[in-house]
Amino acid sequence: MWWKNAVVYQIYPRSFADANGDGIGDIPGITSKLDYLKWLGVDVLWISPHYPSPQVDVGYDVADYTDVNPEYGSLDDFRTMLNEAHARGIRVILDMVLNHTSDLHRWFIDSKSSKDNPKRDWYVWKDPGKDGGTPNNWDSIFGGSAWEWDEATGQYYYHYFLKEQPDLNWRNPEVEKAMFDSMRFWLDMGVDGFRLDAIGTIFEDTGYPDHKSPYNAYDAIKAFWLGKEGDFDPEEVSQRFQWHFGLQQDLPEIHDLMKRMRQMIDEYDDRLLVGETSDLKYLGKGDNQLHAVFNFDLLAKNRLSPEIVRQNQQKWLVSVPHGAWFGNTLNNHDQSRTKTHYGDGVHDAELARVSAALMLTLSGTPYLYYGEEIGMKDYAVQSFDEVRDMVAAVYRRLMREDGRSDEQILKDLATFSRDRCRTPMQWDDAPNAGFSPADVQTWLPVHDSYAQGVNVAQQKQDETSLLHFFRTLIHLRKTTPALLEGSYAQIDPESSEYLAYLRQTDDQTCAVFINFTPDAQPVAYRFNGTKVLFSSGNRSSIDSVTIDLQPFEVLIVELL
């Protein structure tokens, strides 16, 4: 169960390291940074889609499941990267996009070619509805209708995401076989497992009933992008997601499929299936489904507070079934970066350390996102030309139709477009941050902050940097059994502004204290024989019974 004790690091291949100097990250780039990743202490790389793809959804639109995007390199480059990672004791998991393919995948091209093509039924095709329009009122989570008209064959096809991402029809056993074969291709090569993209969206209700919701597609996409702006309250945004459940998402049939997939992967030694879902049902109960799901609840909050973390941990730790597991995460390629998201504009640097300490001391596998370890921040796109996230293009179209001005739309995109968290990794302070040669135009702009110390080279030199903070805590986690596998118990008073918890195995007990505020906090816990394992406040020992935590202090002690 290596995946239980691992620290996972997510790589967005287009943005990690550009070895051939064309402005786009690639597989040899990843290989060249393995020593860095080893130094940092991560155990597992999760690589976002690296397959051939027209890149409409930056690789989440796969055109061939058993090859490498030529922009990123070759299968041989991939094998080299995998072997080099394994040689350093680093495992590699891939992103498996099961719900949909690219509209340029051979399967869809065939499916679309005629109504009697053998691949027709591999996708979800429907006749027009009674009024001659779309088959029903279902919407795409990225905005607009989920149905796209095909003039040539006179039917609509279904897409939960972009229209360039047609949904596969998993009710056809040939689809399951083809996708399992694709997974086997990588498992046979030695890949250690998969993160399963959008796993809940695989099945739809075959009765295709209309949603009975008061929302329309415009409201939905507005809520998706502007939910945090106050146009819609968070409750409405969450309802908007619920709207899909049971019709377009999380149908009961999914669980039998998960069991079959688990049986398939269990034919191999010790591989991992982690689903992009927070729904514990995917872990099964007594019947094996996925090994792990994500605790996304912290990431969904606008700020972190001790209260939020306490509630979150209580919920997760009692509900995860025996033998199953979960990952904690605060950012990924779809979300605002940690340093921006949980910052308050004044103490962003301190709060980034608080967030890191949380990830690396809580129960649950930490999933870190490239650049988080040096405090990369969200990038605000400056013009429509810079936008690469095609969801932003859908948003622009819908909002224009709705009368919103371009100026206003650009302002929205600067804050919300997923480009914000996908800019090139910042390796040093040379132009282009050492990601690409200086004279190359990178696929997304490099964030200016690379020149102000937010880069690997500079932070590596500075033992007080965020990078060293991450590295120290990663190593502490890995060498402290209680932090890795210990139980969790809250020891702070309910309403305190600091967080304190015990992590405990049979042989070791650690206590973690995290002050979320700029003020000193008197701690209610009575210290009596402790060894300091880590203190951001430079405490080397504790010789009094009570202490005040310093502003934003992170303190980890072992109880003797």
- 333 is an interface residue for ligand NOJ by CB under 6 A: yes
List of long-range contacts for 308-317, beta carbons under 8 Å, 24+ apart: 309/358, 309/362, 309/499, 310/490, 310/492, 310/494, 310/499, 313/362, 313/363, 313/488, 313/490, 313/501, 314/490, 316/364, 317/363, 317/488
Cβ proximity to ligand NOJ: between 142 and 342 the closer is 142
The CA-based diameter of the chain, rounded to the nearest angstrom, is 80
Closest approach of Cβ 23 to Ca ion, in Å?
7
Nearest to 394 by CA among 159, 44, 90: 159
* Least distance between ligand NOJ and beta carbon 416 (Å): 14
Q: Indicate whether 60 belongs to the interface with ligand NOJ (CB under 6 A).
A: yes
The residue count for binding ligand NOJ (CB under 6 A) is 9
Whole-number minimum distance, CB 114 to Ca ion, in Å?
A: 39
Catalytic annotation, pick one of 71, 148, 167, 276: 276
Half-sphere exposure of 290 (CA within 13 A, CB side): 27
Residue 9 lies near ligand NOJ (rule: CB under 6 A): no
Question: 55: Cβ–Cβ under 8 A, 6 or more apart, which residues?
Answer: 14, 61, 69
Q: Cβ 18 to Ca ion, closest distance in Å? A: 4
Chosen from ligand NOJ, Ca ion, none, partner binding at 18 (C-beta under 5 to 8 Å by type): Ca ion
Q: Among Ca ion, ligand NOJ, none, what binds residue 60 when CB lies within 5 to 8 Å by partner kind?
A: ligand NOJ
Task: Using CB positions, name the residue nearest to ligand NOJ.
Answer: 60
Q: Which of 459, 481, 467 is nearest to 533 (CA)?
A: 481
Rounded CA-CA distance 390/418 in Å is 9
Nearest to ligand NOJ of 334, 448 (CB atom): 334
Determine if 225 is a binding residue for ligand NOJ (CB under 6 A). no
Q: Does 250 bind ligand NOJ (CB under 6 A)?
A: no
Q: How far is the CB of 189 from Ca ion (least distance, A)?
A: 22
Residue 385: active-site member: no
Regarding 32 and contact with Ca ion (CB under 5 A), the answer is no
548-549 and 521-522: which strand pairing?
A: antiparallel
Q: In terms of CB distance, is 140 or 365 closer to ligand NOJ? A: 140
Which of 535, 549, 556, 541 has the alpha carbon at shortest distance from 496? Answer: 549
Determine the straight-line distance between the first and last CA of the chain, rounded to whole angstroms. Answer: 29
Residue 187 as a binder of ligand NOJ (CB under 6 A): the answer is no
Contact partners, residue 160, CB within 8 Å, separation at least 6: 99, 100, 140, 141, 146, 167, 198, 201, 248, 249
Catalytic: 197?
A: yes
Instruction: Please give the structure tokens belonging to residue 62.
Output: 């796969």
Residue 344 binds: one of Ca ion, ligand NOJ, none (C-beta under 5 to 8 A by kind): none
Selected binder of ligand NOJ within 35, 174, 334, 462 (CB under 6 A): 334
From candidates 22, 428, 485, 548, binder to Ca ion by CB under 5 A:
22
Q: Check residue 161 for interaction with ligand NOJ (CB under 6 A).
A: yes
Candidate residues 97, 223, 272, 555; the one interacting with ligand NOJ per rule CB under 6 A: 97
Spell out the residues 6+ positions from residue 531 whose beta carbon is closer than 8 angstroms to its own. Answer: 541, 557, 558, 560
CA distances, 283 to each of 20, 292, 321 (Å): 41, 6, 7
Nearest Cα to Cα of residue 465 among 331, 349, 338? 349
77, 197, 412, 553: which one is catalytic?
197
11 near Ca ion, judged by CB under 5 A:
no
Q: State both tokens at 316.
A: 């997760």
**Residue 198, interface with ligand NOJ (CB under 6 A)?**
yes
| 57 binds ligand NOJ per the rule CB under 6 A | yes
350 binds, among ligand NOJ, Ca ion, none (CB under 5 to 8 A by kind): none
Say if residues 99 and 141 touch (Cβ distance below 8 Å): no
Distances (CA, A) of 254 to 101, 186, 217, 352: 18, 23, 26, 37
Under the criterion CB under 5 A, does residue 77 sit at the interface with Ca ion?
Answer: no
| Separation between Cα atoms, residue 280 and residue 180, nearest integer Å | 23
Min separation Cβ 30 and Ca ion, Å: 11
Residue 24 or 514 having the CB closest to ligand NOJ: 24
Pick 18 or 103: Cβ nearer Ca ion: 18
> Binding residues for Ca ion, per CB under 5 A?
18, 20, 22, 24, 26
Active-site annotation, residues: 197, 276
> Binding residues for ligand NOJ, per CB under 6 A?
57, 60, 97, 161, 197-198, 276, 333-334
